[in-house]
Structure 1
Amino acid sequence: MTDPDELARLALMRLAAPGDELIGRLIHKLSAAGVIEAINGDALADLHAASEIDDADVLARQLPGWQLRLRRADPAADLETGYASKARFLTPDSAEWPAGLNELGPAQPVGLWVRGPADLRIACQRAVTITGSRAATPYGSHTATQLATGVARASHAIVAELADGIGAAALGESALCVAVLASGIDLLSSRGHPYRYLAHFLAEEGLVVSECPPRTNATPFRRRAAHRITAALGRATVIVEAAEGSGTLATAEHAQMLRRPLGAVPGPVTSELSEPCHRLIREGSAALVSNTQHVLALMASASDAAAARRTGTQPQHDERQWTPQEFVQALADGGMPFAQDDPAYCPAHGWQCDEGCRST
């Protein structure tokens, strides 16, 4: 017997755009079935009270469009299509639902289609997100592949978008992967899918996830919305090449908002795709990452931060004074990420050096 909450969420996925925070707030206050009942019943007062917005006219303008899309929605057909694609449907109440998605608040997915034999919740407990430009250079693709291979050998999963460039490079070398789609999960099997064979491998060995209803094509908006999921599924995020104003930097912003450790790979100073990574490192927003050990150190800091949030404590810092040389040696001995050509600063752990340095 189909869960009524599942059917309601499938219908709302046809009504709302991915990441729609208004719908997210309504679901939180009224439940998915309650939102549909209120929309179909013209219960504007109930919707307004649950929406947390001041202007009721906003909802009044939305209501006719919502009602039209609900009439067109066929959640039972979507469920049948998804199941025929060997996928399963998750809601926030599912045992397999990753806790990291809940940190998105009202922007969390209404539901999630998942294909693959692994358990998504367990995979994401030890997952690192690797993301970057879709127009990657050979250097960027090689680096993403090397990092993903090393991290997978250390028994961590890789989260990346199933897209050109860095995403494909990160996903192509390991079965321990979670590929994020910006289209319906049933389209993986279509002859026109650019990564049909890679997606088939991932679906048989790892995991493929999508918040989009079946038969939904990828669009620039859906790709951009998927960045928040890519950031939320990983315990830490690593940027390998990015263009200014790109979706990759949107992923970095989501990671920062979610308080996930952020790393960036440096590149040639002549490459425009390396400049955003250099800026993130220079500003202290990201740790310098150039090898697998740096990524693993980033993951360790993610575990420490998560433990601190659970207990409500702050990480303990050493108050001793360090010379720059002692600081660099301590990081090298501990396998922590740092910029070897700049011993005065390590953004990953909040250390700063000038003539002497103190943990901050």
Structure 2
Amino acid sequence: MNRTADHRRHGSSPGTRGAPGVGPETVPGIESERLARVVLSRLSEPGDAVIGRWLARLGAPEVLRTIRDGTVPGQPGPDAGRLAGYRARLADLDPVADLERVREAGGRFIIPGDTEWPSQLDDLGESRPIGLWAAGPGSLRLLALRSVAVVGARACTAYGAHVAGELSAQLAERGWVVVSGGAYGIDAAAHRGALAVGGMTIGVLACGVDVAYPRGNTDLIRRIAAQGLLLSELPPGEHPTRFRFVLRNRVIAALTRGTVVVEAAMRSGALSTARRARDLNRHTMGVAGPVTSELSAGVHALIRGGGATLVTDAAEVAELIGAIGDDLAPQRSGPVLPRDLLEPEAALVLEAVPATAEGAPVERLARQSGLPPDEVLHRLYELGSLGYIERHGAHWRLVRRR
């Protein structure tokens, strides 16, 4: 990713703030597009179609100039009150400080055009994220290549938690990245299931990546940041609202190849993720539960109405997802990138994987490569997405070319 390498030399003096007449494009040594998108991520809520429509025509610095000048670029825009609200908030924003804050939390800000940006998010059109704040060392683009969402009720039953955990563990053992929302219930069970087998998981949050919410999941969220990846459209320090949870769901749906719903009542927010996945032509799947359970009623209605396919285990999920796009697990036609273009750490890990059918566990590969186990795990999933290696139980082995 093209990072803002010089930002540590800039403080948060008034000259770096987005006051009228002074914008991020005036700060030397930092990409104007990235800084402008940082400002826009604070000015607007996720999924703001008006800002998205402007960004489709103009660069982010030009959108900021448009807001400061109070002009509309030849197409429908916000009403006068909303535009005035944007302008009023500009004076208090400090994009350089935001970038520094997320860097100190071990993160970065990813924008369209970065090599780490997942192109499938472009399917959201005008509601595409302005950018994504990320915490964790893995490459978002590579991890998202083989990802599946597992979502469901917060107040889940013991049955639902067990199914979500087992399903996610099985998916992780097959080399899939499990994506969920970091909330209580099914989300937490899905993340824990993947982590328990040394798998990779992504948490898409409705708050800043430096905010542990819900607080009861603080340890889990920290572990996801260390072993997986945390994502959010919201800048550092932002807290969740009910509206932001709903908007977050569209990112989960777009980012992944398919969505599995494990327990959801008739009005569950998890169903909105499933509907968005279906609208985006992703596979939507549901796990059946007891017919007497209110928490399974929404899933059953989804399946009965043809909005989701019934699945019972990871093999059935992988079979469905493999039917769309390029499922790199069964297709052994060769890697996407040649070896000489791999990052040095990825090349070290690949060299450590033995040329045997048995392969080797993460701990042995860490010793061989001299890299930390969490770093090795990230690289293994990236190499798996590129078709070099595959997971077989707790071991990783080279893909045998046909």
TM-score, normalised to structure 1, is 0.79
Q: Deviation at 1:298?
A: 1.7
Counterpart of 1:280, as a letter, is: L
* Structure 2 residue 210 is matched with structure 1 residue 186: yes
What amino acid is aligned across from residue 210 of structure 1 in structure 2?
A: S
The answer as to whether partners of 1:237 and 1:255 remain within 8 angstroms in 2 is yes
Q: 2:91 aligns with which of 71, 79, 84?
A: 71
- Partner residue of 1:228 out of 225, 250, 253: 250
Structure 1 residue 279: Cα displacement: 1.3
CA distance in 2, matches of 1:145, 1:173: 4
Aligned partner of 1:355 in structure 2 is none
How far is the alpha carbon of 1:193 from its aligned partner?
2.8
Counterparts of 2:191 and 2:87 in 1: how far apart (Å)? 40
User: Within 5 Å, which residues of 2 pair with 1:76-225?
Assistant: 76-174=96-194, 175-188=199-212, 193-225=215-247
Letter in 2 for 1:12: L
Could you tell which deviates more after superposition, 275-284 or 227-236? Answer: 275-284
Residue 129 of structure 1, CA deviation: 0.6
Q: CA deviation at 1:118?
A: 1.3
Q: Distance in 1 between matches of 2:318 and 2:67?
A: 48
Aligned match of 1:36: 64
Contact persistence 2:321–2:327 (CA under 8 A): no
Query: How far is the alpha carbon of 1:304 from its aligned partner?
Result: 6.3
Q: Counterparts of 1:205 and 1:199 in 2: how far apart (Å)?
A: 10
Q: What is the letter of the counterpart of residue 146 of structure 1?
A: E
Aligned length: 296
Give, in angstroms, the shift of residue 233 of structure 1. 1.2
Q: Does residue 60 of structure 2 align to residue 60 of structure 1? A: no
* Range moving further from structure 2, 171-180 or 7-16: 171-180
Structure 2 residue runs of 5 or longer lacking an equivalent are 1-28, 329-402
The separation in 1 between residues aligned to 2:94 and 2:189, in whole angstroms, is: 37
1:185-225 residue CA offsets vs partner (Å, 9 max, x unmatched): 1123x9x8322211111111111111101111111111111
| 3-state SS of paired residue (1:130) | strand
Residue identity in the other structure for 1:176: M
Paired letter, 1:35 = V
Q: Secondary structure at the match of 2:323?
A: helix
- Residue 39 of structure 1 and its aligned partner are, at CA, apart by 1.0
Q: Distance in 1 between matches of 2:317 and 2:98?
A: 39
- Aligned equivalents of 2:312, 2:325: Cα separation in 1: 20
Letter in 2 for 1:266: A
1 CA distance for matches of 2:220 and 2:327? 34
Task: Map 1:3-42; keep pairs closer than 5 Å.
Answer: 3-42=31-70
Note if contact 1:236-1:302 (Cα within 8 Å) is conserved in structure 2: no
* Cα deviation code 1:169-198 (max 9, x no counterpart): 00012241011111111123x9x8322211
What do residues 224-283 of structure 1 show as CA deviations (whole Å, max 9, x unaligned)?
A: 110001111110110101122221111011101110011000000000111111111112
- The alignment partner of 2:117 has SS state of coil
Give the structure 2 partner of residue 278 of structure 1. 300
TM-score normalised according to structure 2 size: 0.71
| Residue in 2 that maps onto 1:245 | 267
Give how far 1:110 is off: 0.6
Paired residue secondary structure (1:278):
helix
- Mapped to 2, the partners of 1:220 and 1:129 lie a distance apart of 20
Let me know the Cα RMSD of the aligned residues. 1.7
Conservation of the 8 A alpha-carbon contact between 1:242 and 1:249: yes
Asked whether the 8 Å contact 2:150–2:178 carries over to 1, the reply is yes
Is the contact between residue 261 and residue 301 of structure 1 (CA under 8 Å) also seen in structure 2? no
CA distance in 1, matches of 2:271, 2:302: 10
Matches of 2:113 and 2:326, distance apart in 1 = 27
Q: The residue matched to 1:72 in structure 2 has which SS?
A: coil
1:298 aligns with 2:325: no
CA deviation vs aligned residue, 1:62-87 (integer Å, no higher than 9, x gap): 21101011122211111111111111
2:399 paired residue number: none
Q: In structure 1, the residue corresponding to 2:264 is in which secondary structure?
A: coil
Q: Which amino acid aligns with 1:67?
A: R
- The residue type equivalent to 2:35 in the other structure is L
How far apart are the structure 2 equivalents of 1:304 and 1:242? 30
Give, as a single letter, the amino acid of the residue that structure 2 aligns with 1:260: R
